[in-house]
Structure 1
Amino acid sequence: MKKITNLCMSAILTTSIFSGYALGKGIEKVQAKEIEKTQRKDMKKVEVRKQIGKYTMPDEKNKHEGTWLQWPHEFTYGQKYQQEVEPIWIQMTNALSKGEKVHIVAYDQEEKERITEVLIDHGVNMEKIDFFIAPTDDVWARDTGPIFVYDNDKNLKILDPGFNGWGKKTPYKKDARLRENLSKQLGIERIDWNKFVLEGGAFELDGNGTALLTRSAVTNKNRNAKLSEKDIEKYISDLGVTNFIWLDGVPNLDIS
């Protein structure tokens, strides 16, 4: 489910790396250590409930390090689409970079260079920007971008549930591989949840054991036709969830 209020942003705890894909594996290892250090420091500043699951996913209102944006391109919906949408991404990047890191996923190296020039031309503080190169189908980082969690030893992990283009309604094969791609670039272990489909924007956790989900997205036959609510809950309980709130939702609103 696309989170309109969050647009394409992934406003969960995020990580920091400076063009790791382009700079090489050595830089990635150094940055991964910096990520762990930064996130551990932030964890000490917030009250976290006693961990009862395999992993902890911080509450979204907790302090976060940065925001992820999947940059619009012309390779899925054409140049006109990219030209219409890009000004919004520039505005978001400019606003966000005034207070936090902005992690931009660029389709390829050529796109990264083009985006860099565009942002410089618009006066964006590039010290707050870093890039990852990974092909994408769409821009909805909230649904397809990395979901960061901690294990019991406070090691940062990337949760990777399956993605199928909101019920195979849009191109999705590149987006379905995005988290795996980014986990390799970051040097952060990926937790494979591909046995079921769950967009990042299809569930909310409060950090205290409660999850909010909608049936119109999560148990829709175009996502998880063979799984029941209880089956889904078995997975999500690994995040320390003990209380599940299921809303019916509105089928076919947006593209869910």
Structure 2
Amino acid sequence: MNIQSQHHSTNTPFIPAQNGFFFPAEWHPHVATWLSWPHTEASWSNERQELMFPAYLEFIRTISESEQVCINAHNETVIQTAKMRLLMAGIDLSKVTLLPHPTNDSWCRDHGPAFLINPASGEKIIVNWEYNAWGGKYPPYERDGLIPVEIAHYRHLQYVNPGIIMEGGAVEFNGKGTVLTSRACLLNQNRNSHLTQAQVEHYLCDYYGVQQVLWVEEGIVGDDTDGHIDDTVRFVNADTVVVATETNPNDDNYLFLQEIHRDVKAMRLLNGKQLTIIELPMPDPVFSEDLRLPASYANFYITNGSVIVPTFRCAKDQAAIDILEGCFPDRKVVGIDATEIVWGLGAFHCLSQQEPAID
């Protein structure tokens, strides 16, 4: 059932924030992690896909150690192929649920559902944002746009349709009323050109259940999403962020990340408190031929028991892991080589979407 359609006759759409729903922080306990199994050449050519699967399977294994992994799989053939790969990798299939949900691509953070919870009522709903593959860059994307409703039906959850384009990698939450995002992405003319910044903020507050929107300007070089926040600034607790940091003034990311640092330093939370900033180094540049890839340690993913960090065969890998171990003393910090995965222009956070528990 679509909540919003219940109210069309009275022209009063269901607004999650007004009904006690909110998007919790990523460290909130999960019921499961959702992925979309790679099956086309949309992000990786056949040769590249074979190279990325060892890291992808290790990602699944690590998630499955502390929570269920639910995977959108394009069709029965893909399901059987996935089962074979999972078995060959020694992954416990009882920890993995493969579902026949057709997809165009693998970046579930952006086309997957946004789960909202209401702890007071014990309810969970899905926000079914519109999706256009990062400004219409990679058609076709219609099947990906149906995934939130497919999952709502599978979970027997109600869903609401805001009617505007949004991507999960564009927003970062502290679970206490604040969302971080970037103007380069959410105010881009290829998303919702009819909306002003104030109107975008209104949608974020209404449909994510936040009270404050904090903006940075840009993203990193090579990011085809036009500047997703999950490559630059991430909450590690309600008032602390790690911020991607480039120390080489000759690097193309240097000025962008300096500007982001200034933006974040000037931010104040709802209680007036300044954010605590922890600097997270950028890896050495990763290239595919002449193309700079969006390699960033900030694209980590938090599970119930671990923090999964992309590594890039770089001397800075261990320093990034050490910093994140200090941020998450209650979780195991696991580095997985993402050099082949980032060839598809994303990493572990981009591939995943958490389903929160209700508490």
TM-score above 0.5: yes
**How far apart, in 1, do the equivalents of 2:174 and 2:191 lie?**
24
- Residue 201 of structure 2 aligns to a residue in which SS? helix
Deviations 1:209-247 (A, max 9, x none): 111111111110011111011111111212332221111
Q: Secondary structure at the match of 1:162?
A: coil
Q: Are 2:197 and 1:229 equivalent residues in the alignment?
A: yes
Unaligned runs of 5+ in 2: 1-15, 227-359
Per-residue CA deviation, residues 66-98 of structure 1 (Å, 9 max, x unaligned), is 222111112646533432332222111122212
Paired with 1:95 and 1:252, the residues of 2 have a C-alpha distance of: 29
Q: Percent identity?
A: 28
- Say which structure is richer in helix: 1
Report the CA distance between 1:253 and its aligned residue: 4.1
2:76 aligned to which of 109, 132, 135:
109
For the residues of structure 2 that align with 1:58 and 1:129, how far apart are their CA atoms?
Answer: 23
The answer as to whether partners of 1:211 and 1:244 remain within 8 angstroms in 2 is yes
**What CA distance in whole angstroms lies between the structure 2 residues aligned with 1:103 and 1:57?**
19
The answer to whether the Cα contact below 8 Å between 1:66 and 1:101 also exists between their aligned partners in 2 is yes
Which residue identity lines up with residue 187 of structure 1 in the other structure? H
Find 2:66's aligned residue among 94, 99, 102. Answer: 99
Secondary structure of the residue aligned to 1:254 is coil
Q: 1: distance between equivalents of 2:109 and 2:82?
A: 20
Q: Does 1:145 align with 2:112?
A: yes
TM-score normalised over the length of structure 2: 0.53
Query: Is structure 2 residue 100 aligned with structure 1 residue 127?
Result: no
Per the alignment, residue 327 of structure 2 pairs with none
1:158 aligns with 2:121: no
- In structure 1, the residue matched to 2:185 is 217
**d(CA) in 2 for partners of 1:80, 1:114:** 16
CA separation of 1:138 and 1:144: change in aligned 2, threshold 3 A? same
Deviates more, 1:101-110 or 1:83-92: 83-92
> Pairwise mapping of residues 38-49 of structure 1 onto structure 2 (< 5 A)?
none
User: Does the Cα contact within 8 Å between 2:40 and 2:104 map onto a contact in 1?
Assistant: no
1:126-175 superposed Cα distances (whole Å, 9 cap, x missing partner): 11111121111111111111211124633111111111110111122211
> For the pair shown, which has the larger CA radius of gyration, 1 or 2?
2
SS in 1 for 2:164: strand
- Which one has more relative contact order, counting CA pairs under 8 Å at least 6 apart? 1
Q: 1:246 aligns with which of 202, 215, 218?
A: 215
Structure 1 residues 159 and 93 mapped into 2: Cα distance closer, same or farther (>3 Å)?
same
Q: Could you say what the CA RMSD is over the residues aligned between the two structures, in angstroms?
A: 2.0
Report the Cα distance in structure 1 between the residues aligned to 2:88 and 2:72, rounded to whole angstroms. 19
What is the aligned counterpart of 1:72 among 38, 41, 45? 38
Counterpart residue type for residue 53 of structure 2: E
Q: Does 1:190 align with 2:163?
A: no
SS at match of 2:128: strand
Q: Secondary structure at the match of 1:244?
A: strand
Please give the alpha-carbon distance, in whole angstroms, between the structure 1 residues aligned to 2:41 and 2:155.
25
Which shifted more, 102-111 or 231-240? Answer: 231-240
Partner of 2:27: 61
Kindly provide the amino acid, as one letter, of the partner of residue 237 in structure 1: C
Q: Answer whether contact 1:158 1:191 (CA < 8 A) is retained.
A: yes
Identify unmatched segments of 5+ residues in structure 1.
1-50
